[in-house]
A and B are shown apart, each in its own frame.
Chain A
Amino acid sequence: MDALTRRRFLVASGVAGGAALAAGTGGAGLLDLLARGATVPTDAAPTNTLVLVTLYGGNDGLNTVIPYADPAYHAARPELAYDPERVLHLDDAVGLNPVLRGLRRIWDDSRLAVVLGVGYPNPDRSHFTSMDIWQTASPVEPVTTGWVGRWLDTTRAAPEAAVSFEPVLPPVLAGATRSGACVGVGGLDLPPGLTVEAVAGLGRIEPGESQMQARAAAAYRDLLDVDRLVRGAEEHPDPVPSVDGPQVLTTGPGTRSVLENQLALVARCVEARVPTRVYSVSLDGFDTHAMALPGHEALLTRLDRALSSFVARMAGTEAGRRVTVVVYSEFGRRVRANASQGTDHGTAGPVLVLGSQVAGGCYGEQPSLTDLDDGDLKATTDLRDVFGTVLAQVLDADPDQHLGGGYRARPLPLLRPT
């Protein structure tokens, strides 16, 4: 799976990055923009910030937000079902996976919204296509822009308006004329012997060179500028917490080990009032076809730890209290377990929304476990309603203009009115 989704991503980033350069950072590099950002008076009203957390591989929604009271849940996956007593009850029907203790505390503070049964019409079980649909918010026809990318286009956003801390830029941040920037968590990692000065030297635009050659140069300047922008965000260096030492990834160039690191960078940027409105981070490895239980629990533990420490840290500053986190995956797993104690690709799943502005609670309807579509859940909430809500309430944008396909979003009251 990883190859497919990752692959798609890189190319999307290619398209977008080129387009963004075409839009022209001109002579004004990102450092100039940062300099302007730094002169923003500290009493200026902070803007809302969105943090998108993508769970790659298809998170098992039924074992994340568990319909513990439904006998059909226990019947369908005898070896994978959690005992009702172990589940962290949210209400008398659903509860969180036992390892999601941090999220449970956020729920208790009414800062966690759980949108149940989110999906889209005619679900596709390919990681590739389904993730594409989620990121473009276009289930009906394939498009080359992401829903955040289209927002970057219409707002004529600066390159740092949306930043990804993933290895490659996800298509959600790809617009037609603008795109987000991609910043590596591990730092610049220039090859040994190569200096920042030399790369910066290549990034200077030479008078009289062709437009395309100038763009090639600009890519090096952007590489260094965005990196500096982010790394310069913290005045008092705060080492990124190391996570269990170096890890061997089995699913390719994923980000399994670094969600905490990614979120720590986001936290630093938010606290330093970097003018980024959208951050994209991810956790990989949810494609649990076999022996799912221990693997899934380990991933959820990691997710829980990263999210709960991030949300706690964000609550400490004014800018942080305007951050909203949205957690989603390309699909859930099938209701019934397969023969290898795993689950195959499914359809709808829960979307988690967290933050100080969030109005906690369950939204939408838990899909029926007996009224299935060929063994899979029927989505009860359209993903475009969720992202439409985010566009309207976090990014102050008209959802219908950015969802495309003429879809009229039905916003959910996920955020408290400010």
Chain B
Amino acid sequence: MSDSLGLLLRRAGFGPTAIELTAARRGGPDAALSALTAPPGPDLGANTAPVPDLGPDVYAGRRDPTFEEKVRLEDLRTVQTGQLTEWWLDRMTVAGHQAVEKLVFFWHGHWATSVRKVRSPQLMLAQHRTLRSAPDFVAMSRAMVVDPALNNYLDGHLNTRQAPNENLARELCELFVLGHGNYSERDVREAGRALTGWRFSLTRGASVFDATAHDPGRKTVLGHTASLDAQSLVEVMVGHPACPRFVASRLWFRYASSEQPIPQGLRERMAQAFPAPMAMLRVLLADEAFRATAGSMVKSPVEWCVGALRQVGVRPSGLSPQDRAALRSDLDALGQLPLAPPNVGGWPAGAAWLTSAAARVRLRLAARIAGWAQTDGLNPEGLAHQLCVDGWTDRTYEVLKGSRDRRQLMVLGLVSPEYLVT
């Protein structure tokens, strides 16, 4: 039988340190679950990673910049985006409230918005704050429907009464709130009309409502007929019974299994805890069905990398600018750079991360991480303890024993199948 406490900590956060796992063992499973989902006090670790001050958007207050100015401003945005990405990776690494921190990353993938289209790191940071501070899914949905970055990403600013664009409305139905199959094409069109009139302002870093572009007419969405606007549309959608079940199934997909569907009983129990995501997650993590998924989840590149950094005691902010850039570039090559999901569906999951192309990059990044880490006195047993794996297979143990030096030993442990899959 695999170690269920190890599984709990590995899945709920980015990867426990040996100290955290030992402490959890001492307190027992109930205390560990409570400590994860309702951590006491402020997050002292996260407090050592203050949000960078990016200032206003580089285009704020500017009109008609020249070509040369644009080149310079876009370069500045690229630098700021790198800064923001590095900050987030650092915060993930040092945060003590690991389940809280990982849930923020879950929401980023759920409301997937990419800085590669949005361009403005300020808008991405504003969205990040919204996701982090929302007390529950209903409040989050209310804020996200007019979130400037999301609206920019899904062409909400092009959605006007005169020329409706249903991009945002469709994803709201399909990917964010209800799930495929729980709405009709007519619902999408009508929801699109309800969302008309919102634009974003780079100067104000916020969405602005233009009543002349809004369609005030009556709309029928999910059987409700009214002169719906963005906020009343959200109320209709989050009030639909499909919403809690959809959110439950998305949590299951990322925390338990991307291959097996969520058991119906668990889905209903989680839906009972809606709209508080952490309460829903707690139901999931405590369930027997969750434990039964042991050995079936592939760590995503961010989970793998941040977990490794935590366990070997390296924080991104302590690295040189070149090393931080290399870290970002390798994560990008692995297919998962925070702030830049590939599309509105968010990142893939499961075996999708296990390509031979990714294997090559993973070896490279593992070698970097081992190069930053302290490896004195390391042996295969100690490495299993440090990386919080349940144990090595004979195959991997043999490879580890044959490694030429301790740095290589750590590289091989970090890329081992046992470490990649949990």
Taking CB atoms, residues of chain A closer than 8 Å to B394 are 206
Within B374-422, the residues touching A (CB, 8 Å) are 393-396, 398-399, 402-405, 407-408, 411-412, 415-418, 420-421
CB-CB under 8 A from B342, the residues of chain A are 7-8, 10-11
Residues of A within 8 A of B402 (CB): 197-198, 201
Cα–Cα, bound, A118→B421 (Å):
45
Verify B355–A194 contact, CB threshold 8 A. Answer: no
Question: Closest chain B residue to A11 by CB distance?
Answer: B342
- Whether B322 is near chain A, meaning CB under 8 Å from some CB there, is no
**Is A202 within 8 A of B356, CB to CB?**
no
Whether the Cβ atoms of A14 and B353 lie closer than 8 Å is: yes
CB proximity of A280 to chain B, nearest CB, Å: 12
Which residues in A have their C-beta under 8 angstroms from that of B343? Answer: 8, 11
A11 in contact with B417 (CB, 8 Å): no
- Set of chain B residues within 8 Å of A20, measured between Cβ atoms: 355
- Bitwise interface map of A from 377 to 393 toward B, beta carbon under 8 Å scored 1, else 0: 00000000000000000
Task: Decide if B358 is an interface residue (CB 8 Å cutoff).
Answer: yes
Q: Would you give the shortest CB distance from A342 to chain B, in whole angstroms?
A: 10
**Do B347 and A198 touch across chains, with their CB atoms under 8 A apart?**
no
Instruction: Determine whether the beta carbon of B399 is less than 8 Å from that of A182.
Output: no
C-alpha spacing A177/B352, complex, angstroms: 11
Q: Are B355 and A18 in contact (CB under 8 A)?
A: yes
Known: A201-B395, A213-B417, A339-B67. Is A14-B295 also a contact (CB below 8 A)? no
- List the A residue with the shortest CB-CB distance to B257: A212
Report if A223 contacts B (CB, 8 A).
Answer: yes
Cβ contacts under 8 Å, A179 to chain B:
355
Smallest Cβ-Cβ distance to B367: which chain A residue: A191
- Count residues of chain B with CB under 8 A from any CB of chain A: 52
A1-60 contacts to B (CB < 8 Å): 3-4, 7-8, 10-11, 13-22
Q: Distance in Å from the Cβ of B347 to the closest Cβ of chain A?
A: 7
Q: CA A197 – CA B399 in complex, angstroms?
A: 9
**CB < 8 Å: which of B367, B404, B421 contacts A210?**
B421
Closest to A340 in B: B67
CB distance from B295 to the nearest CB of A (A): 4
- Contact present for A219 and B367 (CB under 8 Å): no
Q: How far is the CA of A351 from the CA of B69 in the complex (A)?
A: 36
Question: Contact check: which of A13, A204, A253 meets B355 at CB < 8 Å?
Answer: A13
CB-based contact A18/B351 at 8 Å:
yes
Most chain A CB inside 10 Å of its own CB: which residue of B295, B296, B351: B351
Complex CA gap A198/B398 in Å reads 9
Q: Which B residues are in CB contact (< 8 Å) with A215?
A: 351, 354
Q: By DSSP majority rule, is chain B's interface helix, strand, loop, or mixed?
A: helix
Stretch at the interface among B8-16, B170-178, B261-269, B328-336: B328-336
Cβ-neighbour of A18 out of B350, B367, B404 (below 8 A): B350
The residue of chain A having its C-beta at the shortest distance from the C-beta of B364 within the complex is A191
Interface-central residue, B343, B363, B394, B408, by most chain A CB under 10 Å? B363
Q: Which of B111-141 contact A (CB under 8 A)?
A: 116
Query: For this complex, into which size category does the number of interface residues on chain A fall?
Result: 35 or more
A223–B342 Cα gap in the complex (Å)? 24
Which single member of A11, A204, A216 contacts B420 (CB below 8 Å)?
A216
A93 CB-CB contact with B under 8 Å: no
Which chain B residues lie closer than 8 Å to A7 at the CB level?
116, 332, 335, 337, 340, 342
B247 in the interface, Cβ–Cβ < 8 Å? no
Q: Please state if A216 and B417 are interface contacts (CB–CB under 8 Å).
A: yes
Instruction: Determine if B333 and A168 form an interchain contact, defined as CB atoms under 8 angstroms apart.
Output: yes
Q: Is B226 an interface residue (CB 8 A)?
A: no
Q: A7-B340, A198-B408, A202-B417 are in contact. Are A14 and B348 (CB under 8 A)?
A: yes
In contact, B357 and A202 (Cβ under 8 angstroms): no
A395 interfacial contact with B, CB 8 Å: no
Q: Given A7-B116, A8-B342, A22-B351, are A216 and B421 also a contact pair (CB < 8 Å)?
A: yes
Contact B297 A17 (CB under 8 A): no
**Interface assignment of A209: CB less than 8 Å from any CB of chain B:** yes
Per-residue interface assignment for chain A, residues 326 to 370, with 1 indicating a CB less than 8 Å from any chain B CB and 0 otherwise = 000000000000011000000000000000000000000000000
How far does the Cβ of B122 sit from chain A's closest Cβ, in whole Å? 19
Contacts A14-B335, A202-B417, A339-B67 given; indicate if A193 touches B295 (C-beta within 8 A).
Answer: no
**B103 within 8 Å of A by Cβ?**
no
Nearest opposing residue in chain A for B294, CB measure? A210
Q: Are A191 and B298 in contact (CB under 8 A)?
A: no
Is there a chain A Cβ closer than 8 Å to B359's Cβ? Answer: yes
CB pair A198 B357 closer than 8 Å: no
**Contact: B357 with A168, CB < 8 Å?**
yes
How distant is the Cα of A250 from the Cα of B49 in the complex, in angstroms?
Answer: 32
Closest to A195 in B: B404
- B412 contacts A14, CB within 8 Å? no
- Cβ contacts under 8 Å, B408 to chain A: 193-194, 198
Tell me whether B355 and A14 are in contact (CB under 8 A): yes
A22 to B347, CA, bound (A): 18
A115 at the interface (CB under 8 A from B): no
Nearest-CB distance from A43 to chain B (Å)? Answer: 33
Chain B residue nearest to A214 in the complex (CB)? B417
* In the complex, chain A residues whose CB is within 8 Å of the CB of B335: 7, 10-11, 13-14
Q: A21, B351: Cβ atoms under 8 Å?
A: yes
Inter-chain contact B358/A219, CB cutoff 8 Å:
yes
B311-352 near A? 1/0 per residue, CB < 8 Å:
000000000000000000100111101001011000110111
Cβ contacts under 8 Å, A199 to chain B: 363
A316 located at the interface, meaning its Cβ lies under 8 Å from any Cβ of chain B in the complex: no
Taking a contact as CB atoms under 8 Å apart, the answer to whether A219 and B116 are in contact is: no
- Further 19 A-B residue pairs, CB within 8 A, beyond A11-B343, A21-B354, A168-B333: A3-B332, A3-B340, A7-B342, A11-B347, A14-B348, A18-B348, A18-B355, A188-B360, A189-B364, A191-B411, A198-B402, A198-B408, A199-B363, A201-B396, A201-B398, A202-B396, A211-B296, A216-B417, A219-B358
Task: Give the top 3 A-B pairs by smallest Cβ distance, nearest first.
Answer: A17-B355, A18-B351, A191-B367
The 23 sampled A-B contact pairs (Cβ below 8 Å) are A10-B332, A10-B334, A10-B335, A10-B357, A13-B355, A13-B357, A17-B354, A182-B357, A189-B364, A191-B364, A191-B366, A191-B367, A193-B404, A193-B408, A197-B402, A202-B415, A202-B417, A212-B297, A212-B354, A214-B417, A216-B420, A220-B359, A340-B67
Interface residues of A (CB under 8 A from B): 3-4, 7-8, 10-11, 13-22, 167-169, 179, 181-182, 184, 188-195, 197-199, 201-202, 204-206, 209-220, 222-223, 226, 253, 290, 339-340
Point out residues on B near A: beta carbons under 8 Å.
67, 116, 295-298, 329, 332-335, 337, 340, 342-343, 347-348, 350-360, 363-364, 366-367, 393-396, 398-399, 402-405, 407-408, 411-412, 415-418, 420-421
